[in-house]
Chains A and B, each alone.
Chain A
Amino acid sequence: MATGVKPRVKVPATVAAGETITIKTLISHNMESGQRKDKEGNTIPRSIINRFTCAFNGETVIDVAMEPAISTNPYFQFEAKVPEAGEFVFTWYDDDGSVYEEKKTIAIG
């Protein structure tokens, strides 16, 4: 299900250089597990987000390979080091080939 997919990301707007910050991300997605059957008894095909990455100025913070056991509307919380001002890029990869991207700029202050 690639319709209505929406990311939500929490990153502070400013930090001190070298500071470690907590990031929270959520994306709306059914995460159809491939284990369920429809009313006719046919298996509903798996359709999940299979990978999530976060990078800052091109350097990786975290790279997550996801399986169907991740809950609907996948949520991640993790920590990142911010050496300088720049841009976080968050990317979600869907089984159906869709790629969802969200960017957040951060200033040193």
Chain B
Amino acid sequence: MEFTRRETLALGLGAAAMMVLPLRANASATDDLIAEFTGGADLADTGITLTAPEIAENGNTVPIEVSAPGASEIVVFATGNPVPPVAQFSFGPLAGSQTAATRIRLAKTQDVVAVARMADGSFARATQLVKVTIGGCGG
């Protein structure tokens, strides 16, 4: 993936234009997606851990880790991305833990949200704000 300077500028302008309105729209898009996943059930705020850097050195590659002991599934959303869903982890009988780490793209500073479906059918949510900085020289 390589962007020329001009493309990057254009992307930035596009993102800036988008930010004015759909910020709220995207947040609610995530809420809708979560409701779809949970069937509207209540979300506990314990039992799941989402680890992400407070400041990402580059939004193109942000390390995250999700962990929810006893969960059958964990879904991750990037609320500020044009398309909020990031990944859905389903843990099988041979999972050593309900933990997974990966690297994700964040279009801008935003909340990353993880929701776990527990073995008993309940749900839990964790949220982490990640600040995405604009680099220095061509960064």
- A–B interface present (Cβ within 8 A): yes
Chain A residues with Cβ below 8 Å from B96 are 20-22, 61, 78-81
Given the interface contacts A62-B92, A72-B1, does A67 sit within 8 Å of B85 by beta carbon? yes
* A16: chain B residues within 8 A (beta carbon): none
The number of chain B residues touching the other chain, given as a range, is 20 to 34
**CB pair A65 B87 closer than 8 Å:** yes
Assembly CA distance A76 to B102 (angstroms):
5
Chief secondary structure at chain B's binding surface: strand
Residues in B whose Cβ lies below 8 Å from that of A39: 7
Q: A30-B1, A80-B94 are in contact. Are A68 and B83 (CB under 8 A)?
A: yes
Query: B95 near A67 (CB under 8 angstroms)?
Result: no
Contact B94 A70 (CB under 8 A): no
| Supplied contacts A61-B92, A69-B106, A80-B95, 9 more A-B pairs, CB within 8 Å | A36-B7, A55-B92, A59-B93, A61-B96, A63-B92, A69-B105, A70-B104, A76-B100, A82-B94
Show the binding face of B for A, using Cβ within 8 Å: 1, 7, 10-11, 60-62, 65, 78, 81-83, 85-97, 99-106
